[in-house]
């Protein structure tokens, strides 16, 4: 039986052709015409003036903080409901993460952000940046977050790793904040195998990121360095793959939307189960589709469904385990709602969520198999 994966790459003839085109130029390097074109195309798509292709979204977040002047011991306020890379990038910059709980959308709660910033100010701690996260293809509430941070002259760095293709008020992911970072990891809605991109409207910041990402070489003939750099550039070859993926992004998002509607129909009428979309997913990219299970009503727990589908070789996973519950991050400051015990809304979502196969490469036969497996599980309950 062939395994059904959560979000495998969706590639075909267009991607093969793009890789061949890049290969034929012999720019099998971290520079070249495909990378230049890919940066320009992503910048246009994301409504930004500048883009720098990098080896990962984590690299983009790390450099975002460095070029903003984040210093050791500075605080960076971010979402607890995220993948580890968000917090890792802050620690790479030698700053201290401060974690904020989410609202029912899974994204940073702006009200709690305000509480956190005021509390840190009262303690005399410098907040160097606010880093909201776009969860599973739904954008954070940037109108409120930007206003709250702007009132305090704190830059916003958007972690749009999961947001590519989504919009908010018609504006695309990656267009918010002083800078933003998007991901082209193998499981993302579009991929370069591995990779990411830094986005900004500030030319000076973009040039600094570009310099740091190429070992901070000075623009002279010999190798001259006045600051520490990193080997973070995206390869020209993979940029060619990214260009093909970007051209197909609307098609791939459309298929993921169909998959979400498939699950919405499948679980309609199932007591105690709802699609996790925060109540409105019209502008979401539908990168991943998850459900929330109320065990007291459904009569079963999220882990039961995960185990049953695993038995049929169908990959699922819980929602992100919040950063404040991760053993490595015990002791970090965490701001949550007093009325939510046991870790807040994010912990509740983690305990009740199931992320289901969502990729645009899923075939109708795959969906039929998922349908049969879930129906069999529900019948036994």
Q: State residue 293's pLDDT score.
A: 98
Mean pLDDT, residues 171-196 taken together: 97
Mean pLDDT, residues 316-329 taken together: 97
Handedness of CA 73, 77, 81, 83 (dihedral sign): negative
Write out pLDDT tens, residues 58-80.
Answer: 999 999 999 999 999 999 999 99
The packing angle between helices 33-45 and 13-24, to 10°, is 140
41-73 per-residue burial string, b: 16 or more CB within 10 A, e: under 16? bbbebbebebbbbbbbbbbbbbbbbbbbebeee
Residues 345 and 102 sit within 8 Å (Cβ to Cβ) = yes
- State yes or no: pLDDT of 10 exceeds 80: yes
Strand partners, 4: 314
- State yes or no: pLDDT of 204 exceeds 90: yes
Q: State residue 38's pLDDT score.
A: 98
- State yes or no: pLDDT of 17 exceeds 90: yes
Mean pLDDT, residues 146-173 taken together: 98
CB atoms near residue 115 (< 10 Å)? 15
Would you mind telling me the total number of residues written for the chain in this entry?
Answer: 381
- State yes or no: pLDDT of 348 exceeds 80: yes
- State yes or no: pLDDT of 258 exceeds 70: yes
Q: State residue 327's pLDDT score.
A: 97
Q: Please, what is the average pLDDT of the chain?
A: 96
* pLDDT confidence band for 341 (50 / 70 / 90): low
- State yes or no: pLDDT of 227 exceeds 80: yes
Give the burial class of 312: count Cβ atoms within 10 A of its Cβ; 0-12 exposed, 13-18 middle, 19 or more buried: middle
Q: State residue 379's pLDDT score.
A: 94
Angle at 305 between CA 299 and CA 306, to 5 degrees: 145
Write out pLDDT tens, residues 41-52.
Answer: 999 999 999 999
Q: State residue 18's pLDDT score.
A: 95
Q: State residue 338's pLDDT score.
A: 78
- State yes or no: pLDDT of 337 exceeds 90: no
Percent of the chain with pLDDT over 90: 93
Write out pLDDT tens, residues 81-97.
Answer: 999 999 999 999 999 99
- State yes or no: pLDDT of 145 exceeds 70: yes
Phi-psi region of 124 (alpha: psi -120 to 50; beta: other; left: phi over 0): left
């Amino acid at each position: 039986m062939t395994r059904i994966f959560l979000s495998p790459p969706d590639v075909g003839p267009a991607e093969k052709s793009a890789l061949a085109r890049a290969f034929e130029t012999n720019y099998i390097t971290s520079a070249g015409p495909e990378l230049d074109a890919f940066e320009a195309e992503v910048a246009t798509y994301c409504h930004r003036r500048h883009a720098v292709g990098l080896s990962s979204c984590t690299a983009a977040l790390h450099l975002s903080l460095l070029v903003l002047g984040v210093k050791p011991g500075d605080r960076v306020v971010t979402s607890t409901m995220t993948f580890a890379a968000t917090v890792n990038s802050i620690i790479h910059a030698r700053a201290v993460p401060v974690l904020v709980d989410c609202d029912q959308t899974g994204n940073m709660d702006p009200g709690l952000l305000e509480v956190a910033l005021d509390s840190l100010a009262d303690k005399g701690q410098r907040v160097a940046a606010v880093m909201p996260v776009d969860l599973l293809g739904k954008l954070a509430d940037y109108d409120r977050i930007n206003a709250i941070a702007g009132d305090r002259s704190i830059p916003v760095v958007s972690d749009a790793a999961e947001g590519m293709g989504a919009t908010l008020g018609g504006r695309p992911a990656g267009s918010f904040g002083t800078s933003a970072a998007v991901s082209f990891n193998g499981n993302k809605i579009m991929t370069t195998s591995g990779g990411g991109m830094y986005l900004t409207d500030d030319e000076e910041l973009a040039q600094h990121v570009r310099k740091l990402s190429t070992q901070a070489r000075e623009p002279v003939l010999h190798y001259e360095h006045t600051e520490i750099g990193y080997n973070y550039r995206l390869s020209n070859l993979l940029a060619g793959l990214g260009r093909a993926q970007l051209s197909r992004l609307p098609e791939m998002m459309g298929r993921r939307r169909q998959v979400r509607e498939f699950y919405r129909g499948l679980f309609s009428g199932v007591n105690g189960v709802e699609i996790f979309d925060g109540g409105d997913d019209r502008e979401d990219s539908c990168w991943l589709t998850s459900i929330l299970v109320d065990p007291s009503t459904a009569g079963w727990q999220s882990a039961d469904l995960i185990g049953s589908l695993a038995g049929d070789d169908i990959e699922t996973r819980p929602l992100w385990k919040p950063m404040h519950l991760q053993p490595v991050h015990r002791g970090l400051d965490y701001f949550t709602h007093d009325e939510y015990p046991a870790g807040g809304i994010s912990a509740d979502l983690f305990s009740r969520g199931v992320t289901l196969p969502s990729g645009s490469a899923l075939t109708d036969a795959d969906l039929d198999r998922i349908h049969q497996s879930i129906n069999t599980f529900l019948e036994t309950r």
